[in-house]
Structure formats: structure tokens, C-alpha cells
């Protein structure tokens, strides 16, 4: 299977697309095992090509033994990019895709996306001092995106704040524009399993710990993500949100010896909303 948009007309050979894409010259951003990410330019515009050269049976068996779905190539990202476009979630724009071979261990594939210009990762942006208003807007945006994904059967599997890019100019708008990237491990189903919701949201919370979130921040995210009043969330979804918080804490403790007090206290009780307006 292959797709080639007009953007790259004259840049690559459509009759031998994988070879042509995988041999493009440019700046290598990442090269590990049998996968390479490279930035190149064509007609004054930047693009990224991710090339997969076959994962091998060892990688497949390792994932299966661990009850994980192996990523065989660029098809995950290609499908996820198109699905996010359908859902109205801002992400990279794919302009080329090719997959060759039937042996799952030797599938060769590439996906090319347009470069997102004038953006910065939310991890870097949020490390700077910003207003409470902007922090609230970004938190609300992430909650909306998370709900859209999970309510429509998509989970990311690497759902960290660094995988969101902020359109810098939009930080002054009422609704900031953020792009979700790095979709090569994303999964698409008719419905997102509860455990993958927990893993995604737990990872997002963990990667935001450096922002020193408050209970008010957490409650705001919960209300948007669940689409319910806070009182109802704490009655019906207490187990889910407790699991999210505990997963975030476990991720933090993978390379830390103890939790800071503010993280240790990032928990709620059902009685909490009785003293505030949670609707």
C-alpha cells in the first residue's frame, strides 16, 4: 500500500517509494534499532520521514510474551494520523506512506509528515513562568483532547506532555492550539479499554508533575474529561481516578526515591466537593 500527496511531486520516485523515501538526505533526528527519523526540505518546506526497516522476530516475540501488541512499522502512525484528523484533533499532516512485505518481522514502511512550524513542546513551554489563566486554558485543552481520543477508541501509549506541541502565537488566544505527535504506538479500537485510559491519563499527569498541580487543577481536568459534575465523578469514578493518580506516582518513583509532599497529597476524598461548587 502507498500514498503520495502532491507536496512531494518530483521529490521522490513513486514507482519505488520506500527506497526513495528511506534514502532521502537530511538531518537525522533519531536512529534506533530498525527505525530512523529524518528531517528534510523540499521546495522551501520542512518534512519528517520515519522509516521502519523490519522489527525482527525477536522483538515480536518479546512483545507477545509481555502481552503487548508489537509495532510492526509505520502503519500505526499512518492510521492514527488519519483518525485524529477525522476527530478534529490537531496533529501532523501526513503527505506520504508506503508499506512493503507480508512477513510481519520484515515489513518495510515509511510515513512522511509536514513539519509543524513555530511550535514548542508543552513540557518546555510550561517550564517557564506563565499566568494562571493560560495554565487553566492549556489544562482544559488537554482534557478536551484526552476525552476526544478515549471516547472514540484511540489511546496513545506514550501520552506525555512532551508529545504535545503548542502553536506559540496561539498562547495569547482564548483557545490555544496544541498538536499531538509521536503516534507510532497508538492503538485504535471501537472503544478504549479502561486500563488504557488509566495508563494514558496517568502518564499525562506524571509528566505534568513539574507544574506542581493543585487539587483544583485536577478537579477541572476531571470534570472536562468525564463530562460530569464533580460530585457525580467522585461517586461513580473514584476507583478510576485513584488508579490514575497511583499510576502517575509509580511512574515518578521509577527514578526517584520519594514523593514530594505536594504530590503525596494529590488525592481527594468524596467529602471534598461538599465544601465547594463542583457543578
20 backbone dihedrals φ, ψ, rounded to 5°: -65, -45
Q: Are 120 and 176 in contact (CB under 8 A)?
A: no
Q: Are 84 and 91 in contact (CB under 8 A)?
A: yes
3-state secondary structure 49-98: EEEECCCHHHHHHHHHHCCCCCCCCCHHHHHHHHHHHHHCCCECCEEEEE
For 17, the grid coordinates are 517509494
Angle ∠(222,83,90) on CA atoms, nearest 5: 60
Taking alpha carbons only, the member of 11, 78, 3 closest to residue 44 is: 11
Taking alpha carbons only, the member of 259, 258, 229, 80 closest to residue 157 is: 80
d(CA 129, CA 223): 25
- From 7, 151, 158, 167, active-site residue: 158
What is the DSSP secondary structure assignment for residue 274, as one 8-state letter? G
Taking alpha carbons only, the member of 73, 94, 68 closest to residue 83 is: 94
Per the annotation, the verdict on 255 as an active-site residue is no
User: Catalytic residue numbers?
Assistant: 158
Amino acid at each position: 500500500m502507498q500514498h503520495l500527496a502532491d507536496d512531494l511531486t518530483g521529490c521522490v520516485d513513486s514507482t519505488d517509494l520506500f527506497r526513495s523515501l528511506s534514502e532521502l538526505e537530511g538531518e537525522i533526528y533519531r536512529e534506533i534499532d530498525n527505525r530512523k527519523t529524518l528531517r528534510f526540505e523540499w521546495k522551501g518546506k520542512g518534512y519528517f520521514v520515519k522509516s521502519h526497516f523490519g522489527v525482527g522476530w525477536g522483538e515480536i516475540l518479546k512483545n507477545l510474551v509481555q502481552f503487548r501488541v508489537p509495532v510492526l512499522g509505520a502503519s500505526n502512525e499512518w492510521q492514527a494520523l488519519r483518525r485524529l484528523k477525522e476527530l478534529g484533533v490537531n496533529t501532523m499532516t501526513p503527505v506520504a506512506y508506503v508499506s512493503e512485505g507480508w512477513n510481519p518481522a520484515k515489513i518495510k514502511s515509511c510515513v512522511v509528515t509536514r513539519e509543524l512550524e513555530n511550535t514548542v513542546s508543552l513540557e518546555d513551554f510550561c517550564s517557564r513562568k506563565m499566568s494562571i489563566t493560560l495554565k487553566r486554558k492549556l489544562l482544559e485543552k488537554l482534557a478536551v483532547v484526552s476525552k476526544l481520543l478515549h471516547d472514540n477508541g484511540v489511546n496513545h501509549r506514550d501520552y506525555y506532555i512532551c508529545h504535545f506541541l503548542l502553536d506559540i502565537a496561539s498562547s495569547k488566544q482564548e483557545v490555544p492550539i496544541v498538536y499531538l505527535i509521536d503516534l507510532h504506538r497508538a492503538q485504535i479500537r471501537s472503544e478504549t479499554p479502561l486500563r488504557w485510559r488509566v495508563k494514558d491519563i496517568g502518564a499525562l499527569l506524571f509528566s505534568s508533575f513539574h507544574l506542581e498541580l493543585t487539587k483544583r487543577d485536577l478537579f477541572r481536568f476531571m470534570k472536562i474529561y468525564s463530562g460530569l459534575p464533580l460530585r457525580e465523578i467522585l461517586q461513580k469514578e473514584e476507583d478510576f481516578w485513584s488508579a490514575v493518580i497511583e499510576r502517575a506516582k509509580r511512574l515518578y518513583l521509577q527514578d526517584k526515591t520519594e514523593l514530594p509532599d505536594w504530590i503525596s497529597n494529590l488525592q481527594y476524598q468524596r467529602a471534598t466537593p461538599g465544601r465547594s461548587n463542583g457543578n
